[in-house]
Chains A and B, each alone.
Chain A
Amino acid sequence: MTTAPFPTTLAPVKRISLWRRYLRRPLGVVALAVLLVVVAVAVLAPWLAPFDPNLVDFKLTHATPGDGHLLGGDSAGRDILSRLLYGAQTTLFGAVITCAAGLLLGVPAGVSAGYFGGATDRVCSWISDALQSVPGMIVLLVVAAGTGQSFVVLMVALGIFLAPGYYRITRARALSVRKEPYIDAARVAGVTNGRILRTHMLRAVYAPIVVQTALTAGIAIGMQAGLQFLGIGSASTPSWGQMMNDGFQNMLNYPLILLWPSIALGLTIAALAFIGSTLADLVSVRSEQPTRRDRSRVRESLAAPAPGDLAERVASGSHAHDAEDCALRVDNLRVGYAVSNGVKEVVRGVSLDAAPGEVLGIVGESGSGKTQTIFSVLNLLPSGGTAVADGIWVGGREVGRLSPGERAALLGRSIGYVPQEPMTNLDPCYTIGHQLVEPLRHVHGMSKAAARERAREVLVQVGITDPDRVLVSYPHQISGGMAQRVLIAGAVAGRPPLLVADEPTTALDVTVQAEVLELLRELQREYGMALVIVTHNFGVVADICDRVVVMKDGRIVETGPVERIFRNPEDPYTAELISASLDDTESRQELDEAWSRESPAALDRVGEKDGAR
């Protein structure tokens, strides 16, 4: 986007709605079909039922299926099919009341508790916890006795007991959304709290609520049947729980009477549970996991002649050293991801190399494929990414020919890796000492004492003055700059011949950035390592690199020694990137002076505006 900063049209995007993605899940479709049948049956019961569900015909008592009564008769001589159809009405009506009660109580409380925090949160959470600690079934029986067995009241009471489920889920979501900058932006824009709750907050909790409702409905139906089984509810309204009770009492002699309501209940609850879990899958997993077929499709597509400008699969970039001298050599690397309508290539033929003692910079903007290139070397591509290359050599060995185990061992011993985000790359559950010592013991087979001594030594080397305190600290107890030093210490602790750093200073302050670059330079000289550093900042390149590779859209546009690239960039894109750094640009005062010379009238206009205020 950066080369065309003012686009006049936007590229079309393909949005796949949740509904369409749902319909691609066979299990979800079957479950939804079952639920729709149950709903249809409940609505159409008066027309579908062959008999009045309460009509007693003594000839029909315990009758087997047949003779106009498809499912036979129950112990009181009523038509089982008709009662089953009308029972669906009761079941669904009850589930709707329960879910509505749970939603109306749990969601507003959860959203407010998460958004406002403080006392609101404490009071609401206390009530929710209290509700969960009360034995629900007993209270429901008491309510049933106290209200003359009113079905609606009973279902509302059940909803109250299921409200904490909604409360917890919405509160957790609201808590995380409250910290988003867009909520602050809305407040600064003058949006009232009520409106923020109704719009931003409710939209954020919408998807988990839908999932929760499917699951709650299943639970509600089960509990409802349990209550009816215990004999609660009007005897004149047919219900599945009641029918099960009837069947249960005649189970040994007439097992079919129990079978029919059990099937109906089981199918309905299972359908709701599967709908819930399918929705949960779709909501939580934004990008679908690639299948084995997707992966082989990507591999084939990357190997086959490509349509368009790169039909011959020519590599971009060049090698500066002999193959046997290289710490790292990449030959015609291509990386692709499976997308809905084919394969998206993010690295389209990249060749580069780095010799021991050399610092190679890979420069490009976001989306240029520089990080994907490095991740392919490190075998760290996210799932769905597939790398194909004519060869990747690390320390003179071709990693493509190694077994996964050998490859992991080679990478562990010969490459040190410094990531971009220091904090998220340290495990908050372990001390820094543990995280430095473990790799040394397992990868390099050191004894515990030797590994600890080595860890202490590298911490001193990366400029940490009190290594013993840092060794026993947890990641949250140290600053971001210190964390990056720790990660560098971990990367060089095993004395790797190659160090790979992915934007190692982007997340840091400029002063810390200067320190880290200085440190990397010192370590690289001392160990004689090859250092490959990925960055978007030409200032960093000028500071530390010997050679530089400029990437754009998955291709190398230019490669060469640093002095030449800066003095005389061959590709216009390189020149553009270098000039984008703000070192020698005019200051605002100079810009304004130039502007007022060009358009004095414009300046007057601004002056008038100020005067008018």
Chain B
Amino acid sequence: MNAPGGAEPLLAVEDLVVDYRIHRKLRLRALKGVSISVGAGECVGLVGESGSGKSTLGKAVLGLAAVTSGRISFDGQDITHVKGAARRRLANDIQVVFQDPYGSLDPTMTVGEVLAEPLEVTGTSREKARAVVAEMLDHVRLPSDAVHRYPSEFSGGQRQRIAIARALVRRPRLIVCDEPVSALDLTTQSTILDLFIDLQRDTGVSYLFVSHDLGVVRRICHRVSVMYQGEIVEDGDTTKVTDDPEHPYTRRLLLAAPVADPVRQAERRATWLGLRDSA
């Protein structure tokens, strides 16, 4: 399961366990020993229902969830418990795009300020930052006069472009995408997915792509891991997993998504009902 080049993967997660503290004594095991790897220029998908632990894995890589045991390494370096200034230095290499295009941009900042912030913390000069921001807006195909606007003046799809541009300004090597298209209309969804693919081809960035939609994952990911209740039940090449799933859960997940064709959907539903009743 290594990167296409066969070299050491960019991101390697080994046997990761994450517990959430619900109560002083009660703990919930969100991840029960999960291993994945992401190579350079590769997109790896994490698919599952809510509560399957897929977002937790993304958060652990970003340092937003405390790891109980296991190891996360980035470019050969152990980043499992990295905090403070060392974690902030990782921001050069690892970035994020969140699901909610409304909550992920500070409503009181202009787009220019939002995009310049990750640069300013590294001490980039104002002129340089302005040039990079203009370049990134062009990358995500937003007009350059967007910098003077507030996030509330954009549609959901445009905001997600802004969030992607913010993830790109530091020219990271890995972007964790946490359900980045699931709050968008279907047509907007496909243009954003195409944008993700184009950006990957242009910059060679890697994606860890968290989603509940196997259709989206099939479109953008090279490989996929299917998660169920904190464990990976199946992984492999996306084309193979979506064409010919092995695990019954993957099959159920695949059949549950309706297709936009009444005749085929009727068949699919019948198969799904059969699978559900036998399960």
| Pairwise interchain contact B204-A606, C-beta atoms closer than 8 A | yes
With an 8 Å Cβ cutoff, the count of chain B residues facing the other chain is 87
**Chain A residues whose C-beta falls within 8 Å of the C-beta of B105 in the assembled complex:** 182
Query: Which single member of B49, B88, B273 contacts A511 (CB below 8 Å)?
Result: B49
**Chain B residues whose C-beta falls within 8 Å of the C-beta of A15 in the assembled complex:** 150
Query: Which single member of A180, A187, A204, A583 contacts B261 (CB below 8 Å)?
Result: A583
| Pairwise interchain contact A2-B260, C-beta atoms closer than 8 A | no
Bound-state Cα–Cα, A469 to B202, Å: 56
A181-B103, A514-B256 given as contacts; is B219 within 8 A of A581 (CB)? no
How does the 8 Å CB contact mask read for A501-529 relative to B, with 1 for contact and 0 for none?
A: 00000000111111001100000000000
| Pairwise interchain contact B41-A606, C-beta atoms closer than 8 A | yes
| Pairwise interchain contact A2-B185, C-beta atoms closer than 8 A | yes
**Chain A residues whose C-beta falls within 8 Å of the C-beta of B106 in the assembled complex:** 180, 182, 186, 200, 203
How many A-B residue contacts, CB cutoff 8 Å? 226
A536, A566, A583, A602: which has the most chain B beta carbons within 10 Å?
A583
Bound-state Cα–Cα, A2 to B181, Å: 13
**Chain A residues whose C-beta falls within 8 Å of the C-beta of B145 in the assembled complex:** 9-10
Q: Which one of A109-117, A139-147, A585-593 contacts B? A: A585-593
A8, A180, A585: which has the most chain B beta carbons within 10 Å?
A180
**Chain A residues whose C-beta falls within 8 Å of the C-beta of B197 in the assembled complex:** 588, 591
**Chain A residues whose C-beta falls within 8 Å of the C-beta of B252 in the assembled complex:** 511
Residue of B nearest to A584 (CB): B259
Q: A192 within 8 Å of B by Cβ?
A: yes
| Pairwise interchain contact A566-B143, C-beta atoms closer than 8 A | no
**Chain B residues whose C-beta falls within 8 Å of the C-beta of A512 in the assembled complex:** 49
- Chain A, range 1-16, C-beta contacts under 8 Å to B: 1-3, 5-10, 13, 15
| Pairwise interchain contact B260-A578, C-beta atoms closer than 8 A | yes
Smallest beta-carbon distance B162→chain A, Å? 11
**Chain A residues whose C-beta falls within 8 Å of the C-beta of B14 in the assembled complex:** none
Smallest beta-carbon distance A176→chain B, Å? 11
How does the 8 Å CB contact mask read for B205-247 relative to A, with 1 for contact and 0 for none?
A: 0000000111110111110000000000000011100100000
Q: B153 within 8 Å of A by Cβ?
A: yes
Q: Which one of B30-38, B90-98, B126-134 contacts A? A: B90-98
Query: Which single member of B99, B121, B222 contacts A189 (CB below 8 Å)?
Result: B121
A2-B187, A189-B121 given as contacts; is B222 within 8 A of A589 (CB)? yes
Bound-state Cα–Cα, A512 to B49, Å: 9
Q: A288 within 8 Å of B by Cβ?
A: no
A7-B143, A590-B239 given as contacts; is B220 within 8 A of A576 (CB)? no
A5-B188, A511-B253, A582-B215 given as contacts; is B166 within 8 A of A189 (CB)? yes
Q: A169 within 8 Å of B by Cβ?
A: no
**Chain A residues whose C-beta falls within 8 Å of the C-beta of B27 in the assembled complex:** none
Smallest beta-carbon distance B267→chain A, Å? 11
Instruction: Give the 7 A-B CB pairs with smallest separation, nearest first.
Output: A190-B91, A539-B258, A582-B215, A189-B118, A538-B260, A190-B88, A514-B256
- By a beta-carbon cutoff of 8 Å, the part of chain A in contact with chain B is 1-3, 5-10, 13, 15, 180-182, 184-192, 195, 199-200, 203-204, 206, 365-367, 480, 509-514, 517-518, 536-543, 562-563, 566, 576-578, 580-592, 595, 602, 606-607, 609-611, 613
A-B contact pairs, 27 of them (CB 8 A): A2-B187, A9-B143, A9-B145, A10-B153, A180-B103, A182-B103, A184-B62, A185-B98, A185-B163, A187-B64, A188-B64, A189-B118, A189-B166, A190-B90, A192-B88, A366-B185, A512-B49, A514-B255, A518-B269, A536-B185, A539-B265, A582-B213, A583-B259, A588-B238, A591-B197, A606-B204, A607-B5
- By a beta-carbon cutoff of 8 Å, the part of chain B in contact with chain A is 5, 7, 40-41, 43, 49-50, 62-64, 87-92, 94-96, 98-100, 103-106, 108-109, 117-118, 121-122, 141-143, 145-146, 149-150, 153, 155-158, 163, 166, 170, 185-191, 197, 201, 204, 212-216, 218-222, 237-239, 242, 252-253, 255-265, 269, 272-273
